[in-house]
Amino acid sequence: MPGLLEGVIEMVEINAEFDFKKPFIIGERCSIEKLVVLPDGVFEGFKNNVLGDYPFIKENSGIGGMTEGGLVRCFLVCGEGSGEGILVNTEGTSCARYSSFLPDASGIAAACISAGIEQYKEPETEPETEYISMTL
């Protein structure tokens, strides 16, 4: 009789963030108020330079801070096909002042769509690195 797991799984690869010697992990309750969907190339650029200058961050700079009930106000930025996401709290600025990486945001994005959360879909840009801005 074949078992549920046949064969040996040697490894599963995901992206994750690790903190050095963090004594505890406490997630903060948040209110996702918008879903921003980026082409995968633009999302990768954003992921590699979260503090860069991006139009979609400026357009949503009013989403941040805390609700009266103590929830962190944020929006979810996802790649079209990557499944990963980044929660962004601008604190009223034009940058991702606070961010949290989500290795599997597809379920959260689907819940946002089901709940009728406002969506913004970034059009393809030429070249895909157009939004990357760095100061040396």
For the chain (136 residues), the mean pLDDT of every run of 10, in chain order, is 62 80 86 95 94 93 93 95 93 92 92 90 57 39
Say what the pTM is: 0.79
pLDDT score for 130: 44
Predicted local confidence at residue 135, as pLDDT:
37
Q: What is the pLDDT of residue 127?
A: 40
- Buried residues in 54-88 as b, exposed as e (16+ CB within 10 A): bebbeebeebbeeeeeeebbbbbbbbeeebbbbbb
CB 39 within 8 A of CB 128: yes
pLDDT of 57: 95
pLDDT for residue 132: 41
List C-alpha distances in Å: 135 to 43, 97, 132.
20, 16, 10
